Amino acid sequence: MVAPPALGQTGANPGYLPADKQGFGTARSIESPVWFTLGRGGMTETFYPDLSTPASRRLDFVVTDGRAFVQRLSDVRVRTEQDRLSYRQIANGRGWTATVTYVTDPARASVMIDFELRSHRPLRGHVLYEPTLSAKGVDDQGKSVGDALVASDGTAASALVAEPPFFATSTGNLRNLQQTGQLKIDGVRDRNAVVILSYGDNEQNALTTARASAQQRFADVRRSYVEGWNDYLRGLKTPASAQRAIYETSVLVLAASEDKRNRGAFIASPSEPWAFGTNQEVSPTPGPYHLVWPRDLYQIATALIAAGDVAAANRTVDHIIGVQQPDGHFPQNNTVSGRPYWTSIQLDESALPIVLAWQLDRRDTKTVAMVRRAADFIIGYEQDGFSAPWSQQERWENQSGYSPGTIAATIAGLVCAADMVERSGDAATAQRYRSIADDWAARVESWTVTSNGPHSPQPYYLRLTKDGQPNQGTAYNPGDNYPGTVDQRTQVDPSFLELVRLGVKSPQDATIRNTIDVVDRVLGETTPVGQFWHRFTNDGFGERPDGGPWDIGKGRTYGRLWPIFAGERGEYELLAGKAHAAKVRLRAMAATANDSMMLPEQVWDREAPFGRRPGTPTTSATPLVWTHAQYVRLAWSIDAGKPVEQPGVVAERYLK
């Protein structure tokens, strides 16, 4: 096999591979603490021992005749098929076809890969593996041990074996550790090999695990893997409104996103888009998508409740209780083990766990204490001369101010908290929470609705106000490479619909309806697969005009369209009596899936670069677990005729 030239210095952190994953899988069993992702032609990042810790960057297959050509599967056209998070990739190269099937061993920390090569003349097959143990990769050491390849960084280890055993192995450094194994196949008479990548806390344990998995027939392991997920689905319900394959995949993605060591900890995505995966100055390891976010956790848990996995939703509350900070707030995000990562205050992330606890009817002492501390933090929050419901950040992470979406969450959180503490016997505190919630509900328009903005002569909600003065042209920079400042009256965002979905405002409210018209004109686009929306005016979190990756300070970038807003709009439309429109939204969300039914964070807009089509996935985080959760929840909401997540105690207070 011809080796490529060395790239850079040994020990450099190689970063992550592109975020638009074609697959994400793990066994249902907790005995298999390993996860894998797939790119367009091979396995990309794996995770071990938990979902905040990438353990490898790439495992690719290479086909060569030993003389005239060398082709990686990632360099040729590949089709990906999915069945219960088991994946098959079919690659067609120069006179050859390879079929690669991926699962994990339900009994062990092993990824098992069946590789079949078919050709009319003898060829060689190789495996190229790049470990990044303990999420770093800068200190990995590797070697051959007999017919196996092992790597270690002193904390974790990997072992790569094949059945039949590798014909030859080698280890080298091309910027980072790379290991290769030649398979005993020729594509003519010998066509199949099984490759096993296993992990452990040291080389011997990893190698022992790999040898044990190698003793199993791949067909038996795959059958057990698929049956594990079938058993899970049999214990749940299926909505009539959803496309069954997309729905079931979405439920499985939700379940697979839960860490197995730290139950209740669900990550945002197994991918790291753009600079988050490649620029250590922007995002030191781990990146933010491999973390637990209270807001995403709320979306995931409410979808799981709707799907029938109430036990998993309860585990999310247990996790939340465990990461609550001494002052009562929750980390902006944290590793699956509970270590806070980013530390800004987002009041919706302190409020939504309260709403979730109420939805689960949690009455135990620990939960009520958590709710009380979170509610007290919200009402007492002060910073930079402002007090709640002003927040250091709103749900898009990069602006302080008065956000209608954040205020909706805090109102709902306080009303739910009041109900919970009152049932525990504290009527006085309940009254205090309700009084503050009522005050904020009465004042939300004075903080966030402009009557002299440029988009409409009638009042409309803004993305946020920096100062609670919506008729003032206060200027700020939207962030994400926007070159100047904007008048806050020009900035809108679909997040105002949280006021309706959480039961604070009526869907028939005149300002709500007018803002929908404004948002549709300013942020909405109709693609070949349906209508979608940008996050907010001048959003820069997305690719460059040519499709290149988002990074900070390296040129203008543009946020694209987010499928989650189709789901949120569908929930609003159910409340507005437009059930058919909600069904259209559900179909549009399903249409954004890639071939293996992964749903993306963003899809291309009308400014898609050459070769890309509007309404298809961008290079953003895929799968985004929030998108899958929103699909599940909208499907059940359509079946129910109303949003299943709306807290009844809030709607009864403000809409009756």
Give the residue numbers marked as catalytic. Answer: 394, 397
Q: Is 534 helix (H, G, I), strand (E, B) or coil?
A: coil
Both tokens assigned to 2 = 């011809």
User: From CA 216, how far away is CA 600, in angstroms rounded?
Assistant: 35
The sheet carrying 141-145 orders its strands as 77-83, 86-92, 96-104, 110-119, 192-200, 157-163, 148-152, 141-145
Q: Report helix angle 427-448 to 365-380, nearest 10.
A: 40
User: From CA 506, how far away is CA 492, in angstroms rounded?
Assistant: 19
β 530-533/77-83 pair status? unpaired
User: From CA 179, how far away is CA 195, in angstroms rounded?
Assistant: 13
Q: How many other C-beta atoms can be found within 10 angstroms of the C-beta atom of residue 463?
A: 29
* Residues 377/346, Cβ–Cβ less than 8 Å: no
* Residues 104/29, Cβ–Cβ less than 8 Å: no
Compute, in degrees rounded to 10, the torsion defined by CA atoms 174, 175, 179, 185: -50
Amino acid at 656: K
Q: What is the 3-state secondary structure (H, E, C) of 133-197?
A: HHHCCCCCEEEEECCEEEEECCCCEEEEEEECCCCEEEEEEECEEEEEEECCCCCCCCCEEEEEE
Residue 170 pairs in a beta bridge with 180
Could you tell me which residues come within 8 angstroms of residue 590 by beta carbon, excluding any fewer than 6 positions away?
242, 243, 246, 631
- Total residues found in the chain within this entry: 656
β 524-527/530-533 pair status? antiparallel
